[in-house]
Every structure is written in structure tokens, then in C-alpha cells.
Chains A and B, each alone.
Chain A
Amino acid sequence: MSTVDLASVSVRDLNSRLHALPPGTNERHWRIVNPKGEHAIAAGLTLPLEVEIEGHTGYYCAGMNKAATVIINGHAGQGVAENIMSGEVRVKGNASQSAAASGQGGLVVIEGDASARCGISMKGVDIVVGGSVGHMSAFMAQSGHLVVCGDAGPSLGDSIYEAILYVQGKVESLGADCIEKEMTPAHAKTLRDLLARAGIKADPKRFRRYGSARKLYNFHVDHADAY
């Protein structure tokens, strides 16, 4: 295990060390202390490393992550795991807005609450939130899954495409073209698997499923007032 202290090492030096590791490296475990809300910590990783961050991170921690597992033992700032491709990013505390924005793959777990626009523009990522999510979450969500064990704020899934949303608590309001859908046994199984992968205990039976009504997929004059 290599430990990097961001009180004395810059984020630039940390990231360039992480990026310079050769595939198949033995230096797979990294511990980062004193993150102090710095931005872009462990952004752009490409190898199956395990990076643990002891404290709170600023914007875009683990941005565009590929293959690595990044664990934040604290809260995460805006755009944590934005555009994640694969691997896993876990926030033990809460996450600020736009968590996992446009994520294309991988798993993002937020054990606490997520703020507004969680999963905005998501394109294949799986997101599991132990607490609640703020307004406009899963806005224009294209594919992947968003699991919310708490409540969802206003306009959940506005202009959603093919992403699937599961919410256990109450949904303040659904956005344009987002509707409740039947929870089939297959969906229940997907949800159970997601919760298991995230290591979050919840009863799949208590969730409801939401997705696209697909009414806004093509322009039509009679849907103009949906916006």
C-alpha cells in the first residue's frame, strides 16, 4: 500500500504517478490522506487499482474512471465519478450535485444522500444511493440504472430515455415523459443484484420502478406543452 499525503504532494503529482503505473503493476493499493476538498483527485484512472481517500473531496473526484475502485471515506463534491466508464466509485458520505453525470458504465455507490442532478445524462452507469437524491435527478438519463433507497426530489427522470429508475421512498414529482412502470420479476431481480453489488441492505419489494413513457421520442405538435 502506497500512501500519498496531499498536504505535501500536489494533485498533479498524485495523478501523474497514478497515470504512469504500467498495466499489471504491483502497486495496486493506494491510500490518499488530507484530500481537503481538492478537485480532480484520482481523475482519469485506467488500471484496476484500489484507491482509498481519507476525507472529503472537491469536484470531479474519480472523473472518467476506468477499471479502478475509488473509495471516498468522506463526502464528495460536484460531479464525483463524472462520465465513469467502468470500475467502481464509492462515497461513504454524501455527494454533491451531478454525481456520476453522463456515466457510461461501472458502478457508483453513494452511501449517504446525493444532491441535485444525480445521474444526469447517464449512459449506462449503475448508481445506487443509500439515501435520497435531489431535484432533476436522472435528467435525460439514457441508459443504466439509478437506485434510490430514500426519496427523490422534484422532476425525477425528466426527458428520460431508456434508463431504469428504482425508488424506495417517495418521489416528489416525475419530470416530463417519466412514468411509473410495472415491477416485473426480472426487474426485481436486477434491483436485488444492484443492491447486492452495492452492499446496501434494502428490500427490493418496497421499491417502485420508473422509466420513459417514450412519448417525446419524436416531435409531435400535441406534446409541445410537455416541456
Chain B
Amino acid sequence: MRTRKPAPKAKKRSGRAAKPKSRMGSRAKAIKAVTPAALRANLVSAGDARGKPPAFDTRALRPSHSFPQHVLAEIHRAADQGLYEIRGFGAKRKLPTFDDLVLLGASVSRYPLEGYREKCGTNVVLGTRFAKKPIELKIPVTIAGMSFGALGANAKEAIGRAATMMGTSTTTGDGGMTEEERKSSKTLVYQVLPSRYGLNPDDLRRADAIEVVVGQGAKPGGGGMLLGLKITERVAKMRNLPVGIDQRSASRHPDWTGPDDLTIKIRELREITDWEKPIYVKVGATRTRFDVALAVKAGADVVVVDGMQGGTAATQDVFIEHAGIPTLPAVRMAVEALQELDMHRKVQLIVSGGIRSGADVAKALAMGADAVAIGSAAMVALGCNKPVYIDDYHALGTEPGFCHHCHTGKCPVGVTTQLPELQARLDPEQGARWLRNYLSVMVLEAQTLARACGKSHVHNLEPDDLAALTVEAAAMAGVPLAGTNWIPGR
């Protein structure tokens, strides 16, 4: 009886050896069979209370914490391809986030505003320090820079339209400004990046603000990347590159390094645009306190701080997961730097990296940010990782919900692709509607929380309205651990 079940198995095995033609097929079957359910079934069937332990005791399968499945897979992939993994989307590892903070609604000691009757303002003015023409946004949620090239033209257009309908700004990216996005975006921020692809003074002059990109949260210290399939003729022409190359952009600006040069560079940009446009400086979150202070000293009107979970279209995984600090401590450090210089609210702070909801917005503002920017969440609103066209996710070796394959240029939902047949899956009008709805929801959520805290403007939220759920978050955000007045390190 003990051997009855394993017997057919042994037979199968010998059968497999006898028929080399079907070897791959049955091996694949054998591998497929090792699911947790199959293992449990095997354990039960092979169990014998009085005899020897089963030859294959699934309880003895001990996964390695140092070498979990995804690490094994990565080593196998690296051994096969000899190239680091390049991928899209942001960090996937668990990090302390705004989820680790809660807002303290009003009760007896403070009173709330009426949810549906009392106004809660959301507007924000950016660039009040030096620019002759600061920009005013109706909502404190902006769209982060995502290049044409990384995104298809339809995605860019959808974003521009949605942002315009919501009264917020959108941003160009590593690859220059397209006509479509200028036309569809009422307020367009023009990025000046190390690569300087398509950098054009006419575009500087027709932008509403200028963002000098020093770094990105997904890859602080690294340059842009766009792999061959996405360098189509149009993209290549805009970037002045050969079609189909694997583009790796510079990580340093070609004509300045360090804060003193940056000061002069910002002045030059102001001269070229006759001091009209707000000038932002965007940094990846690392030594945020110094970086923000130096950006302010260099003459920035607005500082953009992008935490390590910030999205990307193509970056080395090692960079995405292992460089930079999370958004949570970065916001605190940025606010502290501004306060130290007496520049808080005079130089505006935009925070990005992992913002997904109105709760995230409310918490970032309560910590002292003036606005937030979203990249990944906007893509998701446009259909990224939606369970549609599932076969195409499978063809990329992934599933909806797990996709980070923007780098391949074969986005199943037509967001991060240049292929016309895939782009056609995203109708700009439909996309604009989705993104607009989503932005509205975010703003309503932020207002709901702000009113509950008794605030008539989302900017009136303050650190006092926050408590932390974990010691880590308390330390990083500089907010007391819930139920205590303890901020680790203070």
C-alpha cells in the first residue's frame, strides 16, 4: 500500500527516459506539477504514520530568505543574458510610505468643516519667488515629466487634455516637446535634462514653466534610457539619434556641474525667457536636505523632490530598488531645508514618488509640500496593468498587476509604446476622461480629509494633523508615533 501511489510516477519517469522526443514536454509537465497544491497532495498520499518519512516530504522544502524565487530567477536571467535587468515602473520592494501615517480628524478639541457645504480650497500658485508669470493651478496634483518616446503620442495627449480639464499642469520629458502636448496642455512645464534631446529655446519660450532635471527618484545619479524598439523614426528625429539604438542618456548636464554653475545656468535660462517663467529644479531623493538648500540657493522658484519609489519607463532594476531614499523622509528633509532658509512657501515644494490617492496627497501636503506630482498613477488611470489584452501581457512574460515592461515598447494597453497598433488601444479622449475622473477622485479625497481636520484649504493641513503607525514612519516623517509624543531621534 505504501508504494502504490508513487509507483505510477516511477513508471512515468522511466517512460519519459524511453521516449526522448517527448522529454521536454514531460519535463515541463513535471515542473508545472510542483505547485503548492500538488505538493500537499503528494504529502498526504505518501504519508504513513508508522513507516519511514515519505521520500518527498514537502514540509522539508525550505525556501531561502537570501535566495527567494525572484532572486533565483534573476540570477538565471543574468547568467543567460549577461546584462543587468532594465525595466519600467517604480520600486517593488516594501518601503515606509504615506500609508504608515494617519490623519487626526477633528472631534472635541477641534471641529471639522461640513463635508458638502463648506468650501475647502485646493489651488496652488507656483513660481512666486522670481518669475514674472507664476502659474496658478486649480489642484495641487500635477503630472510629472514623462517623455514622448517613453509614452506614446496618444498617452501624452490624453494626459494633456485631462490636466487641462482639471486646471493642472503636465510636463514634457527626456525627448523634447511635441506639438500635440503643447496644444493639449494649457499649462506645460518644459524639462531641461542632461541629455538635452530636442532642447529648443523656442520651446523654452512657449512653455509655462521650466524644470531643470538634476535627477529622478528611480535613478538618482543615473541618466535616461530608451531601448531600441522605442526609437522609432519620429523619436529618433526628435532626439537626433540613429533609429533603433539602445539610447543611454547622460547623467550630468553637459555645461554645468555643482551648485555654483547651476546658479549661473538658472540665470541664463531666466535671461533667455526674460525672467517670465517659473524655474523648477527636480532632484531624486538622496541627500535631500542639502540638495533642496542648494537648489534654493541656486535660485529655483520651485523644488521638485522625487522619492525612490518614483516611476520610470526604463531603468536598471538595481537602481530602482537600491538607490535613493523613500518619499516619506524626503518630504520632511525638504521641508526642513526650506524652513531653515526661511523659504518654506516662498519656494514651492512639489513631491513625487508613489503618490496614488487623495490620502497620499493630503499627507504630503500636511507634511509641508505645496503640491504633488504623479507619474505611475496617471499611467494606471490610462489603463496600465489593467486586466485586458491578457495574451499580450503573457507574451511579455507577465500578468496584469505585475507588468513593469514599459522598456520593451510593447505595452499591452498602448500607454508606453510607439507601435501604432498598440497605441490605437488608447483613445486619447477616453484616456483623458479616465485620468480626469481619477484626478477628481484624488482631489475629493484630499478635500474630504482636510475638511475632517477642520481645514478650509488643503494647504492648511499641518504636521500636527498627522500620527505615525510605525516607528520607522515616525522617524522618517518626523511625526509622533500614534498615541505617543515620541518622534524617534528627537
**Chain A interface (Cβ < 8 Å from any Cβ of B):** 11-12, 15-16, 19, 39-40, 43-44, 46, 58-60, 63-64, 66, 78-79, 82-83, 85, 97-98, 101-102, 104, 117, 120-121, 123-124, 139-140, 142-143, 161-162, 217-222, 224
Give 9 nearest A-B pairs by CB, closest first: A221-B82, A44-B272, A79-B255, A98-B255, A64-B201, A101-B254, A101-B255, A102-B196, A40-B268
* Interface residue? B245 (CB, 8 A): yes
Min Cβ gap B327→A in Å is: 30
Decide if B275 is an interface residue (CB 8 Å cutoff). yes
Known contacts A79-B256, A117-B254, A121-B195, A161 near B264 by CB under 8 Å: no
Contact of A219 among B83, B196, B241 (CB under 8 A): B83
19 contacts between A and B (CB under 8 A): A15-B271, A43-B268, A59-B264, A59-B265, A59-B268, A63-B268, A78-B261, A98-B255, A101-B254, A102-B199, A102-B255, A104-B240, A117-B255, A121-B250, A123-B197, A124-B240, A142-B241, A218-B228, A221-B82
B246 interface hit (Cβ, 8 Å): yes
A11 to B254, CA, bound (A): 24
Q: Are the CB atoms of A218 and B267 closer together than 8 Å?
A: no
- Which residues of the partner chain A approach B244 to less than 8 Å between Cβ atoms? 218
Interface size on B, residues (CB 8 A): 33
Q: Is B430 an interface residue (CB 8 A)?
A: no
A-binding residues in B (CB < 8 A) = 81-83, 195-197, 199-202, 204, 227-228, 240-242, 244-246, 250, 254-256, 261, 264-265, 267-268, 271-275
Interface of B is mostly: loop
Residue pair A60, B268 in contact (C-beta under 8 Å): yes
Residue of B nearest to A59 (CB): B264
- Complex contacts, B201 vs chain A, CB 8 Å: 44, 46, 64, 66, 83, 85
Taken together as a complex, chains A and B put the C-alpha atoms of A19 and B276 apart, in Å, by 13
Are A64 and B272 in contact, with the CB atoms below 8 A?
yes
With both chains docked as a complex, state the minimum distance between the C-beta of A106 and any C-beta of chain B, in angstroms: 12
A58 to B260, CA, bound (A): 13
Question: Hey, which chain A residues are within 8 Å of B200, CB to CB?
Answer: 85, 104
Contact residues in B for A79 (Cβ distance below 8 Å): 255-256
Cα separation A158 to B453 with both chains bound (whole Å): 57
Give the distance in Å from the alpha carbon of A102 to the alpha carbon of B255 in the complex.
9
What's the least CB distance linking A58 to chain B, in Å? 8
Q: Which of B227, B246, B254, B273 has the most CB of A within 10 A?
A: B254
Which of A82, A121, A221 is the one whose CB lies under 8 Å from B83?
Answer: A221
Q: In the complex, which residue of chain B has the Cβ closest to the Cβ of A119?
A: B254
- The minimal Cβ–Cβ distance linking A6 to chain B, given in whole angstroms, is 13
Say how far A59's CB is from chain B's closest CB, in angstroms.
5
Q: A102-B199, A104-B240, A224-B82 are in contact. Are A60 and B264 (CB under 8 A)?
A: yes
Of B202, B242, B272, B274, which one neighbours A63 at CB under 8 angstroms? B272
CB-CB under 8 A for A161 and B271, given A66-B201, A102-B199, A121-B254: no
Which residues of chain B are near A101, meaning CB under 8 Å?
Answer: 254-255
Cβ distance B171 to chain A, nearest Cβ, rounded Å: 20
